[in-house]
Structure 1
Amino acid sequence: MASSIAPLILFSFFISISSSLSQTLSKPKALILPVSKDATTLQYVTHIKMGTPLAKKNFAVDLGGQHFWMDCDDGQYVSSSFKQSLCGSAPCSVAKATCDGACFPGYNRPGCNKEKCHVNIDNTLIGGGFDVGFISLDKISIQSTEGSKYGPYVGISDFIFACANDRGVGNLARGANGMVGLGSNQIALPTQLSSAFGGSFRRNFAICLPSTSKSNGVIFFGDSPYVFYPGYNTSKVIDVSSRFQHTKLYINTAVTGSSVVTRGPPSPDYFVKVTSIMVNKKPIRVNSTLLEFKKTGKGGTKISTVEPYTKLETTIHRALVKAFDKEIAVWNVSKVAPVAPFTDCYTTGNMGMTILGIGVPDIAFVFENNKNLYWEMYGANSMVEMSRDVVCLAFLDAGDEPIITTPIVIGAHQLQDNLLQFDLASNRLAFTSTLLLEEVECSNFKF
């Protein structure tokens, strides 16, 4: 009986959200958030208006985060429309939350439905430290877009988020109040927005991260063209989706830490299947079994905004560096002492600057055994300039098994000035490779 009631609760809850929306503004096709780069932490931060009265709150962006959570301790959050959910309510069901007094399905002890429900918040910025967040509701306001500029704000009532305490908010960028999760589960931001606005609002989103802290990039939600202007002509517009290539998004198993090989819950992170890596269009030797998805949740390639730089399993990292050093030798460069966190640094030698960044051998991730389907990275995404004369390879050694679980984690530096669309309904990733080929940056959006 409980299993048949649960879907009805969820459906009724989202219908009530949609009704409140239709009373305030016609349903938009797409919404948009600005995203900035924090120069100190290298985190990506967005802001959303919340509460009554509406107040701007800042959030670190976690691409694979399963929750939208914030610090509500010590008067950090004050709103007359704020409310917390009780066990047995629709929001608690949507969030798959539990009750303080162990309110579990099929075991409704007396008084259980009067207790607040909570979820375990995973702060990925502090190595996966957990804290409890109480399921809460309030209104939020996000700007709409038709693809080339910002439009009017749209209000959403009874938006679900988790209220944490200040013990769980460590390592956030200065001024950030919490984290906005863009993962694939029910109360992450993309699914909540899609559910709230109904069938005309597609369950997808796209990120375009800026490469500098001096200007904003963008995050799109819903069905939108992606129109930017090239740096040489602010009056010209380019829909950069014309550059899209597509590959499958995989749902991987969350790693539980158990040595027993069991099928665990689905991970909220986004995974793709990289089958090889090329340097200057030449494949390097990689143990392909490392890249296969395992029942334990190990394997595959994850895309992350909380990892500043791409991390590679030790043997993969060694192979990449060896091939890169061989190809870069013709640039008349010399290796120099490592500069943390990087292990492989070089004098600039004969490297020149191009529209794609410093001129170095290109690196590409190849998908699904298709040599013609690859994500190519040039100097702007593969190197970091440490000084006028020294640059470092922005790929880090993550260690080997059993220390790591994911052999390739594509980090935020490699995502900068690339547009990535995550289609959750079709389990498909669309990616452009660098927009710099069109002389476009993620900051070239008309605010």
Structure 2
Amino acid sequence: MAPSAKHFMFLSFFSLIISFSIAQTSFRPKALVLPITKDVSSSTPQYITQIKQRTPLVPINLTLDLGGGYFWVNCEDYVSSTSKPALCASSQCSLFGSHGCSDEKICGRSPSNTVTGVSTYGDIGSDIVSVQSTDGNNPTRIVSVHNFLFICVSNVLQKGLAKSVQGMAGLGRTKVSFPSQFSSAFSFKNKFAICLGSSPSTNGVLFFGDGPYNLNNDESKALIFTPLITNPVSTAPSSFLGEKSSEYFIGVKSIKVSDKNVKLNTTLLSIDKNGFGGTKISTINPYTIMESSIYKAVANAFVKELRVPTVTPVAPFETCFASKDISFSRMGPSVPSIDLVLQNDVVWNIIGANAMVSLDNDVICLGFVDAGSDFAKADQVGFVAGGSKPITSITIGAHQLENNLLQFDLATSRLGFRSLFLEHDNCDNFNFTSSV
């Protein structure tokens, strides 16, 4: 069971949903910024950010879940003088949609550890959260949000996360995700941008609000846009009947290898009335996962165009080559291009650095995983809903996102994207040295 009401201070008479305060100033930020680190200590790489929460403030490490609906924290050792439970039938509870109600009259939900697929019940509460604001070039002032909503869970849900992590930060399409709460608190545009670094020794960056997103340059000006699609059926490990998916789907119409169309069962690229099919984007699954027939068609076309002999595969990958047979350039391994042709005829070009994964034993592999393969084990590729018959036909994984700037505009329901290799830039170039 999740912690009971004793873990929270008594809720005051006034039920505030979200408010912001910055001590002794009327400063209102236009955007916020958080660093992202790549953690490779667990069986699957995870992308970690840090906020400060509670009174007194405590640094909290969180695994980023791009499509996650909620912010949840392990409350086994939660101590704060400003935490408050969300009482049943309150406006705070209504923001979570369907929910339960405990004997203590505290509402709750069942958040998921999307790395493992495990879900458990937790009480909904609120507390102070403190983050860094930005002008797009540097961090600026520290700002705080009072009554920031989260779900308080037991340590059962934390298992499978990186050692330093105490919870998960959901960035998905709900009213209580990080982007929605921050935009509501500070009245800036409901959009965010994420840029994953490729190395544990460097920082990626997460922006809430509008650009500029100044790495070496303002990369927001180079973005290409495509519509975001809503899956009418939840794809979370735990959900209520009738809930929509909080994950981010895009419309892939076809796939090309070396500018040649790959023959696919194109019905798999659309989302049906039961929520099956389509293409989503994930920071939890480390590599792109494809339904078996799609994977085999893409991999066969890739091998045919590369014209290099394959070697014994190395799990979780099935299509591998000797590193000595592959040349390299500034864009990574020189291999055939893999292009996702999207809904409005724009192209997401997956270059060599994102298409291939170099292994320690002089082997380099196509960084895509066949969902139906024996190699597609949960401890290597993350939780896959549906297993060998995935609910989602294509999940674009984190390796394919690294050093790409992605902007999710929730107000207009569109995705902006751009490989920073094409801009002679990378995700670790944001200056995290404060300008104030």
Secondary structure at the aligned position of 1:308 is classed as: coil
Query: Following TM superposition, by how much is the alpha carbon of 1:172 offset from its aligned partner in structure 2, in angstroms?
Result: 0.4
Paired residue for 2:310? 335
- The change in CA–CA distance for 1:388 and 1:438 in structure 2 (over 3 A counts) is farther
Which residue pairs with 1:106 in the alignment? none
SS at match of 1:443: helix
Residue in 1 aligned with 2:299? 321
Q: Extract unaligned runs of 5+ from structure 2.
A: 1-14, 374-385
Give matches, 1:86-105, under 5 Å. 86-96=87-97, 98-101=99-102
Distance 1:220 1:315, change over 3 A: same
Partner Cα distance (2:59, 2:133) in 1:
16
Q: Specify which of 149, 152, 168 is matched with residue 163 of structure 1.
A: 152
Tell me if 1:292 matches 2:295.
Answer: no
- Whether 2:257 is the aligned partner of 1:267: answer no
**Aligned partner of 1:435: which letter?**
L
1:351 to 2:340 alignment: no
Q: Structure 2 vs 1, CA of residues 30 and 72 (structure 1 numbering), >3 Å: closer, same or farther?
A: same
Give the match for residue 418 of structure 1. 404
**CA RMSD for the aligned pairs?**
2.0
Following TM superposition, where does structure 1 have runs of at least 4 consecutive aligned residues deviating by more than 6 angstroms? none
Percent of matched pairs sharing the same residue: 44
User: Within the alignment, does 1:307 sit opposite 2:285 as a pair?
Assistant: yes
Pairs within 5 Å for 1:136-151 = 136-151=125-140
CA distance in 2, matches of 1:225, 1:138: 30
> CA–CA distance in 1 between the matches of 2:412 and 2:204?
25
User: Using the alignment, how far apart are the partners of 2:146 and 2:49 within structure 1?
Assistant: 20
TM-score by length of 1: 0.85
Distance 2:336 2:414 in 1: 29
2:150 aligned counterpart, secondary structure: strand
Q: Is the 8 A contact 1:248 1:429 kept in 2?
A: yes
Q: Note the alpha carbon deviations across 1:44-66, whole angstroms, 9 max, x for none.
A: 00000011111100000000000
8 Å CA contact retained: 1:82, 1:137: yes
Aligned mate of 2:173, from 184, 199, 203: 184
Match of 2:3 in 1: none
Matched, 1:204 2:194: no
Give, in angstroms, the shift of residue 255 of structure 1: 4.6
Q: Secondary structure at the match of 2:429?
A: coil
Which secondary structure state, in structure 2, belongs to the residue aligned with residue 163 of structure 1?
strand
Q: C-alpha separation between the residues in 1 aligned to 2:208 and 2:256?
A: 32
The equivalent of 2:379 in structure 1 is: none
Task: Kindly indicate whether the alpha-carbon contact (under 8 Å) linking 2:235 and 2:245 is maintained by their aligned counterparts in 1.
Answer: no
In terms of Rg, which structure is larger? Answer: 1
Q: Name the one with the larger helix percent.
A: 1
Q: State the Cα deviation string for residues 228-250 of structure 1 (Å, max 9, x = none).
A: 12xxxxxxxx1112221110001
Counterpart Cα distance in 1 of 2:95 and 2:23: 21
Which of these residues, 213, 229, 254, is aligned with residue 226 of structure 1? 213
Contact 1:256 1:264 in 2 (8 A): no
Q: 1:134 touches 1:164 (CA, 8 Å); kept in 2?
A: yes
Aligned: 1:251 with 2:230: yes
**What does 1:5-44 align with in structure 2 at a 5 Å threshold?**
13-14=16-17, 17-18=19-20, 20=21, 25-41=26-42, 42-44=45-47
Q: Which residue of 2 aligns with 1:121?
A: 111
Paired residues of 2:235 and 2:391 also in contact (CA < 8 A): no
The question of whether the paired residues in 2 share the 8 Å contact of 1:139 and 1:156 is answered with yes
Q: 1:361 matched to which residue of 2?
A: 336
Secondary structure of 2:156's match? helix
CA contact (8 A) 2:62 2:168 kept: yes
Please tell me whether residue 57 in structure 1 is matched to residue 60 in structure 2.
yes
In the superposition, relative to structure 1, how do residues 349 and 159 fare at CA in structure 2: closer, same or farther (>3 Å)?
same
Corresponding residue for residue 217 of structure 1: 204
- Matched residue pairs, number? 400
Task: Indicate conservation of the 8 Å contact 1:147/1:224, yes or no.
Answer: yes
- Deviation, structure 1 residue 91: 1.4
Indicate the residue corresponding to 1:71 in structure 2: 74
Corresponding position of 1:385: 358
Q: 1:305 touches 1:411 (CA, 8 Å); kept in 2?
A: yes
Q: Which residue of 2 aligns with 1:376?
A: 349
From the superposition, tell whether residues 303 and 50 of structure 1 become closer, same or farther in structure 2 (CA, over 3 Å).
Answer: same
Residue 429 (str. 1) matches residue 430 (str. 2)? no
The answer for the alignment partner of 1:394 in structure 2 is 367
Matched, 1:241 2:227: no
Q: Compared with structure 1, are the counterparts of its residues 417 and 193 closer, same or farther at alpha carbon in structure 2 (3 Å cutoff)?
A: same
SS in 2 for 1:125: coil
Residues 1:301 and 1:247: Cα distance change in structure 2 (over 3 Å): same
Distance, in Å, in 2 between the alignment partners of 1:47 and 1:182 is 14
In the superposition, the TM-score normalised over structure 2's length comes to 0.88
Aligned residue identity for 2:54: G
One-letter code of the match for 2:79? V
- Whichever residue aligns with residue 217 of structure 1, its letter is G
